Structure 1
């Protein structure tokens, strides 16, 4: 009985397979005619010159710029068709009536391998608006976007050829144009040269024009909406020193002890001639005295300087280098000297119970007053430093005064503090 059921089931499967095979053979041999519908096929305008002779330009109406196309053809033909292979055209020479607003224009659909009588388009006619045709000349800027040349080089100059373009199009659209940009791809460039760059047009809102809007424009002098851009690459040079000059005089009894910058070196790029001249000047860029005025100062101060404005001709900052340089000026009383002492030399023996004090600063600055001769003889090891955190009970970072002990004959100019982080000791953590 089981064998009989298995035989019947096997026969059914075999019959189904044979039926499918026969159906495929029939379909491929007979190639039956059937219909296929394609939605939202975009319409393009042709023979625009029919109106432009009257200084008018035709425009598609948004929401009515696509059609639905039904094609009747053999299955083998339909298999080769998709929406992109269908062309829908609104021919301006076929305007139904010049007395309507907007104009109604019939749509003709073309599909390779399919005759006109086998194509149905819905709607058969679409509205076309018009606008005054106007012309405007605009300069072209160039941008490399996020592309970068080979390591060790920067884009020094970009020269667009031609420098401007004359744009013709509908008056309403032309009035909204803001800028024309040549998009230059300098990826992996390691020598200067010319590049063909596509043009992108932006409106006054900063938005790039759509493909439909671009189709209404004619860019004279830019073949295929592209221009040639000469890319001048500059070589990068690192470790350029920063020198600072100052003007004015501090308050009576005070002097400029030191001037430092953050950063203290820069990376720049420039032409070979400019880099050679920079090398002849000791690879140093000078912040002039007019930028740093110490007049009447009796305490340290900082000032931010935009170094980019001070660079020599044909020199620029390398990429990702900030143009802001922080100038720190140290002002000390006469007969005084500054010592920078590592924090490891601070005595931390007086700590709170069940707490550990960790100094956060790498060093502290100690300013000492004395005679020139005494200061010349005073060594770093002669200055004794300590902190007392035994009375601190609060966890976290604290600003702790530093006890400074100086040899006889010397005087501390400023109080000294250090950042200390207090944490529970291992014994206290085990108790908790």
Structure 2
């Protein structure tokens, strides 16, 4: 009996040993321990509400990924799905700037984490700030011909930009754009605000307050009008103003159509020419009626006052060119009885007088009512209006009128 029990115990112990060795074989040969990396596991950020409360913004990386290497039995590793691996980074308590935040990995109980790469996430946090910017108006296109924009009113004139410090500090300008193509009447409209960096690119992920503005712009009429100089005073004795040349001679003006439609010219401020004796060029101001403006606000008009000396000169005229008018058709003139020349004395500005020749002078005798015989007839002279006749020598000549039948 005792022997049988001993044999039974021995068999049981032997069976257990065999089972243990079989289990060890299976575990080590059939289902061994192994490792496997899992790439591109997304990191979940915890306590993001803390960033909102602390007025912080996660700038980068917006999305972080790591590689997790798991260890365990082959059969257990094979059952792992990447979604079973939870990687977290807690954002609570970190200040503005760059921070090194550790990651925490959670995996199923039958496997372990052998490594995670990277173990830390380099985060950049920005404070949320607000800045005020002036709004600039940009226009595109051209108004209808004969029209131009007046002074624009943009309301409000400034905008508050709010967002992460990096993005707000990248703002170079704030603009609103208005199209003027073929516009011919006043504009009142709402336009969106655009926030641009120094490369003219839109800055996004910021808030604008307000996001739109109200634009009021009058559309004015335009026209070109000449400039007339206004003078006072008298030149020095013996001198004369020949003309006043304006540069430019005309200007474009703008204003309400009902105001500018009756404007035919503009005048300058009064130019004082008292005792002037030589040509000079002076700056002038253009007198603008109320409600009228120059298109070119930078215009600097000049007036050139041309002054010349007044001189006298004797001009000898050949009587062969003397004209007789109102001579009876039955009469003729004995031209042999005429003097060869007459002399006229003229006065005027030097350039006009020196340029004058006998071809510029018309002189004649009026023979109305005269019969045949000898007659003393006055000489008439016609000159350019800028030339003054001082005297004629002789003032009269003896003219012999003959009947044609007696010749």
TM range (shorter): 0.3 to 0.5
TM-score for the superposition, normalised by structure 2: 0.46
Q: Which has the larger radius of gyration?
A: 2
Which structure has the highest helix share of the two?
A: 1
